[in-house]
Amino acid sequence: MNYQRVKKTLILTFFLNLSVSIAKGIVGALAGSVSMVADAFHSLFDSVSNVVGLISITIADAPPDTGHQYGHGKFETIGTMVVGTLLLITAAVVGYEGFGRFFSGAVAEITPLTVAVMVGTICVNIVVALYERRVGKEEESSFLLADSQHTASDILVSLSVLVGFLFICLGYPVADAIIALLIAALIARMGVKILYEALEVLADASAPIDYDSVDAVLKTTEGVISYHDFRCRGKAGEIFCDLHVVVAPDITVREGYLIGKLVRQRMMTEVEGVVDVIVHIDPFFGVVGPADTEIDSETDTKP
């Protein structure tokens, strides 16, 4: 992963998201639209997530040391958890304000300016989401991909605010409060999803790996009879694997070592996202007959 490019992307999107949040907040407050102000809070946490991302990516970019022998990549995941927690807090605040609107009796003032600001910020968010998604895919950055989804949800939230404006113009002012509550629910759902995915990485859940590519490498590596007990952990762009490779029992230790080394090299170059592989060499215990091949159950070829 090119961490410097990821950081530059986060800096650019930070200023864009901050501008969007300020514009929505000021105009929403002047117009008295709780849904627009709620949307501004949502956009503000796009900026906050960019700051958290910059901090976590900077730490993740540090090389392995004696205290972190597998590197610092999980600090990116920890940063993602911070964003998820902040989103849940925001959802609670926005929901409280939306619920209070039912009893205030205030009606938002809909003007061409409020509509123009919402439309303009939606356009900015579309550009930001597409840009983050493209760089995230190219650099295999889980944080950028998650943040692009966050920004994309902001687009949907902004569209819902415009729908709220429409209902107010039609004579249903309570729709503004209802839309605010829907925004709160959407933010909460997003926060829970982000937290769950981050916890899965920290809990060493199976990493998102292309098993077909793994199978292709193992089946086309000379000297490999079969493989078993394949495991992987980590996140997209930083996957650690270990597996057992079955080789002929009469080869030398050096030949077995070279086969394992070749498997490791091919896995790291041909399987997307793999950064390290531990290969255990096992002797073949099966009996090759004229009509079939018997493989001991402990050396099954399935990962």
Among 109-113, 156-160, 231-235, the range with the most confident prediction by mean pLDDT is 231-235
3-202 CATH, one of 1.10.760.10, 3.40.720.10, 1.20.1510.10, 1.20.1440.230: 1.20.1510.10
Q: Is the pLDDT of residue 230 over 90?
A: yes
**Would you state the pLDDT for residue 291?**
36
Q: What is the mean pLDDT of residues 224-235?
A: 92
SS3 221: coil
CATH of domain 211-299: 3.30.70.1350
pLDDT digits (tens, 9 = 90+) for 38-52: 777 767 777 887 888
Place of tokens 């960019």: 50
Supply the mean pLDDT for the chain.
Answer: 81
Contacts of 266 (CB under 8 A, 6+ apart): 217, 221
Q: Is the model more confident about 282 or about 207? A: 282
Tokens representing 47 are 């900026």
Alpha carbon 289 to its chain centroid, in Å, reads 50
> Is there a shared CATH topology between the 3-202 domain and the 211-299 domain?
no
Res. 289 pLDDT band, cuts 50 70 90 = very low
Q: Of 171, 132, 173, whose CA–CA distance to 150 is shortest?
A: 132
Tracing tokens 């503000």 back to the chain, one arrives at: 44
pLDDT band at 105 (very low <50, low <70, confident <90, very high): low
User: Where residue 102 falls among pLDDT bands split at 50, 70, 90?
Assistant: low
Q: Looking at residue 244, what is its pLDDT?
A: 95
Residue whose structure tokens are 């627009």: 36
Q: Is the overall model pTM greater than 0.75, yes or no?
A: no
Q: Residue range 231-247: average pLDDT?
A: 91
The structural domains of the chain, with segments of one domain joined by +, span 3-202, 211-299
**Amino acid identity, position 172:** Y
The answer to whether 41 and 90 have CB atoms below 8 angstroms apart is: yes
Q: Indicate the pLDDT class of residue 211, thresholds 50, 70 and 90.
A: very high
pLDDT greater than 90 at residue 256: yes
Q: Taking the alpha carbons of 132, 137, 141, 142 in that order, is the dihedral positive or negative?
A: positive
- Residues 127-183 have pLDDT tens digits of 888 998 898 888 877 778 777 877 777 777 777 777 777 777 777 777 767 777 887
Whole-number pLDDT of residue 188: 87
Q: How far is CA 36 from CA 26, 180, 184, 205, in A?
A: 10, 8, 12, 39
**Statement: residue 35 has pLDDT above 50:** yes
- State how beta strands 274-283 and 238-247 pair: parallel
